[in-house]
């Protein structure tokens, strides 16, 4: 829980979230954990789509459906109000909220909020300092701008799936929606940069985030491998395109990861496995040579690792400074002593006698710790509270102007 004596870094920042599913809510949750007051505006007819994306569902002590586990992965620390954007009343509420906010996050299709008068150009007239973050599949420009964007499709279009999976099998997506999650994280960085500008100048701006931009950009070394060589990288399964041996290997009782990053580590691995004779062989003595002969390296290493129990080999690697690791299930990950020591799992009471588990934002700040105060809200849970605050802010604004 948050140390009440220290304010989180974004305390006093107000964020309006007109976003659903994952990329926008992920950004909103990070900002909320960092201390921002995030008000999630949902359609009164069911709210965020992910509330229904189960099983599993979180069940209250009285059997109440508290929304799907999926919803709770991205909506901690927020307050929920409802507004039907098709109505003048709903549009007016969002406009009033935006007038008091520092940030607005939305993930409607390009131009989807123009008809409601809730697009950037409309709301900047209401609040010139507003940082308005629009998250779409393809951004505000380009031939695909008007198309709907989905994480799975973007993983394919970006080239990510072309380098993921076994060479002779189907291209594979990641096990989670990484385009959405990376976009949410990049959005937070962009929002914070725009906030600094707004605090210095009083001038807000549009933050244009596109899933395809992000997923393409985070291919990192694989992008550079292509740009430098002119050859598109291919699927290598669990092998690394630039390092060998850097992959999954078998043991007598399961699999583990070897991550040999330099020649000294390779020599030490050879000693562990009784392969001292190959460490000086010019076919294997350098990483460049091992990459060129990766199939033979894999064959020799795997032949020897199969003779070991997994735990014994991991211990030997640790004792000899050879990077290696277990391949955990998610259950095993949460049971890992390092994960426990870092407090990755959190349990948040909802004020109604229920405790909902979650995973903290993986950021630790020594002076301004993040806050973890409440789980994802019920639909419209904070309607009266937020409306009362809004009326008080508007009244104070009117009285301040009349005093001038």
pLDDT tens across 296-333, in order? 999 999 999 999 999 999 999 999 999 999 999 999 99
pLDDT for 404 equals 44
Report the pLDDT value the prediction gives residue 400, as an integer from 0 to 100: 79
Q: Are residues 383 and 319 in the same domain?
A: no
CATH number of the domain enclosing 261 = 3.30.1540.10
Which of residues 328, 360, 379 is at a domain's end?
328
CB 99 within 8 A of CB 92: no
With pLDDT > 70 as the criterion, what percentage of the chain qualifies?
98
Active centre residues (catalytic): 180
What's the pLDDT at 403? 54
**284, 347: one domain:** no
Distance CA 284, CA 291 (A): 9
Do residue 269 and residue 394 come from a single domain? no
Domain that holds residue 257: 246-328
Question: Which H helix or E strand runs over 187?
Answer: helix 178-201
Q: How many distinct structural domains can be found in the chain? A: 2
CA atoms within 13 A on the CB side of 138: 14
112 and 25 co-located in one domain:
yes
Residue the block writes with tokens 């419209």:
380
Q: Which of 290, 308, 328 is the last residue in one of the domains?
A: 328
DSSP letter at 66 equals E
Does residue 304 sit in the same domain as residue 172?
A: no
* Domain of residue 390, CATH code: 3.40.50.10540
pTM of the predicted protein model: 0.92
d(CA 213, CA 187): 12
> Rounded CA gap, 360 and 344, in Å?
6
* Residue pLDDT, tens place only, 37-52: 999 999 999 999 999 9
Same domain, 391 and 309: no
Per the CB < 8 A criterion, the answer to whether 354 and 54 are in contact is no
Same domain, 213 and 348: yes
C-alpha 78/C-alpha 17 separation (Å) is 9
């Amino acid at each position: 829980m948050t140390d009440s004596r220290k304010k989180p870094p974004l305390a006093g920042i107000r964020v309006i979230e007109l976003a659903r599913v994952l990329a926008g809510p992920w950004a909103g949750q990070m900002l909320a954990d960092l201390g921002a007051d995030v008000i999630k505006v949902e359609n009164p007819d069911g709210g965020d789509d992910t509330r229904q994306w189960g099983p599993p569902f979180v069940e209250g002590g009285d059997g109440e459906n508290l929304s799907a586990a999926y919803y709770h992965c991205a909506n901690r620390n927020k307050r929920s109000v409802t507004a039907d954007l098709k109505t003048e009343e709903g549009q007016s509420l969002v406009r009033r909220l935006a007038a008091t906010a520092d940030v607005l996050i939305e993930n409607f299709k390009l131009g989807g909020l123009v008809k409601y008068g809730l697009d950037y150009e409309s709301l900047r007239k209401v609040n010139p300092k507003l940082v308005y973050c629009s998250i779409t599949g393809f951004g505000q420009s380009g031939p695909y701008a008007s198309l709907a964007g989905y994480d799975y499709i973007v993983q394919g279009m970006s080239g990510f799936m072309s380098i993921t999976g076994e060479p002779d099998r189907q291209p594979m997506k990641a096990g989670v929606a990484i385009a959405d999650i990376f976009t949410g994280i990049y959005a937070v960085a962009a929002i914070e940069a725009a906030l600094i500008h707004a605090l210095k100048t009083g001038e807000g701006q549009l933050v244009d985030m596109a899933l395809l931009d992000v997923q393409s950009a985070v291919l990192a070394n694989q992008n550079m491998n292509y740009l430098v060589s002119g050859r598109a990288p291919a699927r290598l399964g669990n092998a690394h395109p630039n390092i060998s041996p850097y992959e999954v290997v078998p043991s007598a009782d399961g699999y583990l990861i070897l991550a040999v990053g330099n020649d000294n580590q390779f020599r030490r691995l050879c000693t562990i496995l009784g392969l001292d004779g190959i460490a000086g062989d010019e076919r294997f003595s350098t990483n460049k040579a091992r990459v060129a002969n990766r199939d033979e390296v894999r064959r020799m290493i795997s032949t020897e690792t199969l003779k070991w129990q997994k735990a014994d080999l991991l211990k030997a690697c640790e004792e000899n400074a050879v990077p290696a690791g277990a391949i955990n299930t998610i259950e095993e990950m949460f049971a890992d002593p390092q994960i426990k020591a870092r407090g990755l799992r959190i349990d948040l009471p909802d004020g109604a006698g229920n405790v909902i588990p979650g995973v903290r934002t993986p950021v630790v700040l020594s002076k301004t710790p993040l806050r973890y105060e409440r789980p994802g809200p019920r639909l419209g849970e904070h309607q009266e509270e937020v409306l009362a605050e809004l009326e008080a802010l508007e009244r104070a604004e009117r009285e301040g102007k009349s005093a001038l």
